[in-house]
Chains A and B, each alone.
Chain A
Amino acid sequence: RKEVEQDPGPFNVPEGATVAFNCTYSNSASQSFFWYRQDCRKEPKLLMSVYSSGNEDGRFTAQLNRASQYISLLIRDSKLSDSATYLCGGDTGRRALTFGSGTRLQVQP
């Protein structure tokens, strides 16, 4: 079992839709989680950190569910510019982030 798993998608949604991604992790000792965004042929860039209390930044909301060992990302009012691959990362007990394989989102006009 991979340490961090994501549904690869693609998620094809119309503009204005709400879309949610989940990411599961296997190490219950993991403490820190992040969502990164990666555009095609570009490097990943931090989208937001994930806190136990939840984290909201504009149209984006991240949640952590420790009991079920998953993190989620909710995007409201999707824009064409949100089309990208979304990578979740967690510390999984090692000193460097372990990433999932990414979830591809395609927002369509």
Chain B
Amino acid sequence: GAGVSQSPSNKVTEKGKDVELRCDPISGHTALYWYRQSLGQGLEFLIYFQGNSAPDKSGLPSDRFSAERTGGSVSTLTIQRTQQEDSAVYLCASSPTGFSGANVLTFGAGSRLTVL
């Protein structure tokens, strides 16, 4: 596609429910990133996928968070047993190859998650 597509754009859920957030990167981009941004805060790194390499999961805040990337394209971020502190905008980004000084990230519009 022309850009990074994320869905849903808005999600309201009840505490304790599971949610899935989807990211469709730019066609041909091999690297995919998930960040989250709480109100008025910067971007918090969550997870990074690069081709067939093992993902860098070092930013996932707890074992309730997981992500997968199928076929080297679409990615799904899953949050189990959501808590109110999970409320944030979840941003996905992609880049042509693995991160380097020559490659920049293109972000999607984000999925705004509200946990009641």
Please tell me if A32 contacts chain B, counting CB pairs below 8 Å.
yes
The answer to whether A95 and B43 have CB atoms under 8 Å apart is: no
* A8, B55: Cα distance in complex, Å: 31
Q: Which residues of A are found within 8 Å of B108, using beta-carbon distances?
A: 43
The answer to whether A91 and B99 have CB atoms under 8 Å apart is: yes
Q: How far is the CB of A36 from chain B (nearest CB, A)?
A: 8
Contact with A along B34-51 (1 / 0, CB 8 A): 010000011101001010
Contact with B along A71-109 (1 / 0, CB 8 A): 000000000000000010101001111111110000000
The answer to whether A43 and B41 have CB atoms under 8 Å apart is: no
Q: Which residues of A are found within 8 Å of B101, using beta-carbon distances?
A: 31-32, 49, 91
Looking at B43, B56, B108, which has the most chain A CB atoms within 10 Å of its CB? Answer: B43
Q: How far is the CB of B26 from chain A (nearest CB, A)?
A: 13
The answer to whether B56 and A96 have CB atoms under 8 Å apart is: yes
Q: Which residues of B are found within 8 Å of A34, using beta-carbon distances?
A: 104
Which range contains the number of B residues in contact with the other chain?
20 to 34
Known: A34-B104, A43-B109. A97 touches B41 (CB 8 A): no
* A69, B45: Cα distance in complex, Å: 21
Q: How far is the CB of B17 from chain A (nearest CB, A)?
A: 25
Seed contacts A34-B104, A89-B43, A95-B99; 20 additional CB < 8 Å A-B pairs: A31-B101, A32-B99, A32-B101, A42-B109, A43-B110, A44-B43, A44-B91, A46-B104, A46-B105, A49-B104, A87-B42, A94-B48, A95-B48, A95-B50, A96-B45, A96-B56, A97-B99, A97-B105, A99-B45, A100-B42
Instruction: Please name 22 pairs of A and B residues whose Cβ atoms are closer than 8 Å in the assembled complex, sorted by A.
Output: A31-B101, A32-B99, A32-B101, A34-B104, A42-B109, A43-B108, A44-B107, A46-B104, A46-B106, A49-B104, A87-B43, A91-B101, A95-B48, A95-B99, A96-B45, A96-B56, A97-B33, A97-B45, A97-B99, A97-B105, A98-B45, A101-B42
Interface on B for A, CB 8 Å cutoff? 33, 35, 41-43, 45, 48, 50, 56, 58-59, 91, 98-101, 104-110
